[in-house]
């Protein structure tokens, strides 16, 4: 990618999109196109068609999506399916119509079957039923992967797909109900420390294992793959390492310096026992993560303090 190339980052205000913008700016790119949802409704076919025809970007990072936790995914099933299909259909088709040189579509690890073997390999896609609660979101993301492949096969478009594991980092969502487990625990431990609470209650038994990747590491991987990967199918992006929810909680407790005890509420659901990505394809491409979990949590907590506590 030439430093003067026009690069459209869809979803630039989100955690992933903002990390990609930081990476591109650090690398010296001077023509990054950003449009907020107020300026451009990506669900609106005509608005996106007009925008793409006017801007004619050379490269596109498609990091925009309607996202949420397990409750939101299960409650707004029609919205998650319809809106995500609209967003990606409009951008992917617009990229083809306007001769975009390369597009990267970002999905999610929830695309894999609920009972897929661990670790999750790329070829496990569409080999079994999905997790019911986030099925609409997952189906939209699977459609995006297949759409990129179809435009590659029919029209010769260089459209690629990457599937990140669980993400956290700068510009994360710390909402008490709608956030994911790692940012939720950061907030929970911080508030417990501030209130001098004696205990923090963790949902479930603490035994499920999860993999976590810092969003700026994902941005590094996306940049690397944009330069070096030109194939159909998809690439998992993760660390290839996981941690139990209990050990994650203990790590966050230590980083935040909370002195109380952990209580596990086993009446609450554990979710999937394990969700670990097989990242051997990514490693074979020549990329590996840099930010280890403790360092990442320290960085995220500092950002939480700056963004939520001090303002």
Annotated catalytic residues are: 137
Is 167 a known ligand-binding residue?
yes
Tokens coding 247: 């050990």
Is 188 a known ligand-binding residue?
yes
Is 17 a known ligand-binding residue?
yes
Tokens coding 282: 């990514």
Closest CA to 17 of 86, 106, 145, 82: 106
Is 128 a known ligand-binding residue?
no
Instruction: Please give the Cα distance from 238 to 164 (Å, whole number).
Output: 6
Is 270 a known ligand-binding residue?
yes
Residue pair 92/49 in contact by the 8 Å Cβ criterion:
no
Is 287 a known ligand-binding residue?
no
Helix/strand/coil (H, E, C) string of 242-284? CEEHHHHHHHHHHHHCCCCEEEEECCCCCCCCEECECCHHHHH
Is 166 a known ligand-binding residue?
yes
Is 281 a known ligand-binding residue?
no
Is 232 a known ligand-binding residue?
no
Is 108 a known ligand-binding residue?
yes
Tokens coding 285: 């491409």
**Cα angle 287, 122, 247; round to 5:** 70
Q: List 214's β-bridge partners, or say none.
A: 168
Is 13 a known ligand-binding residue?
yes
Residue found under tokens 């500092």: 302
The dihedral built from the CA positions of residue 237, 152, 51 and 77, taken in this order, carries a sign that is negative
Is 175 a known ligand-binding residue?
no
Binding-site entries for NADP(+) = 11-17, 106-109, 141, 164-167, 180
Annotated binding site for substrate: 188, 203, 210, 270
- What residues form the annotated binding site? 11-17, 106-109, 141, 164-167, 180, 188, 203, 210, 270
């Amino acid at each position: 990618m030439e430093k003067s190339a026009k690069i459209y980052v869809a979803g630039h205000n989100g955690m992933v999109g903002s990390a990609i913008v930081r990476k591109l700016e650090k690398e010296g790119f001077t023509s990054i196109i950003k449009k907020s949802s107020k300026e451009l409704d990506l669900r609106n076919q005509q608005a996106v068609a007009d925008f793409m025809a006017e801007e004619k970007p050379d490269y596109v990072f498609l990091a925009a999506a309607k996202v949420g936790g397990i409750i939101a995914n299960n409650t707004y099933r029609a919205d998650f399916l319809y809106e995500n299909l609209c967003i990606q259909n409009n951008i992917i088709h617009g990229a083809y119509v306007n001769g975009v040189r390369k597009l990267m579509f970002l999905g999610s690890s929830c695309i894999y079957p609920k009972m897929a073997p661990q670790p999750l390999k790329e070829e496990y896609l569409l080999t079994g039923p999905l997790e019911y609660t986030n099925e609409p979101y997952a189906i939209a993301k699977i459609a995006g992967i297949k759409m990129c492949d179809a435009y590659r096969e029919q029209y010769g478009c260089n459209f690629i797909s990457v599937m990140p594991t669980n993400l956290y980092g700068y510009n994360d969502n710390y909402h008490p109900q709608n956030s994911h487990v790692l940012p939720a625990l950061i907030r929970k431990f911080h508030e417990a420390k501030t209130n001098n609470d004696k205990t923090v209650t963790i949902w479930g038994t603490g035994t499920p294992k999860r993999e976590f990747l810092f969003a700026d590491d994902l941005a590094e991987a996306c940049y690397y793959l944009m330069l070096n990967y030109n194939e159909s199918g998809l690439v998992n992006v993760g660390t290839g390492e996981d941690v139990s929810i209990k050990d994650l909680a203990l790590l966050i407790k230590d980083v935040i310096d909370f002195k109380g005890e952990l209580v596990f509420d086993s009446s609450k659901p554990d979710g999937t026992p394990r969700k670990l990505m097989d990242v051997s394809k990514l490693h074979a491409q020549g990329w590996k993560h840099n930010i280890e979990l403790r360092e990442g949590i320290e960085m995220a907590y500092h950002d939480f303090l700056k963004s939520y506590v001090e303002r």
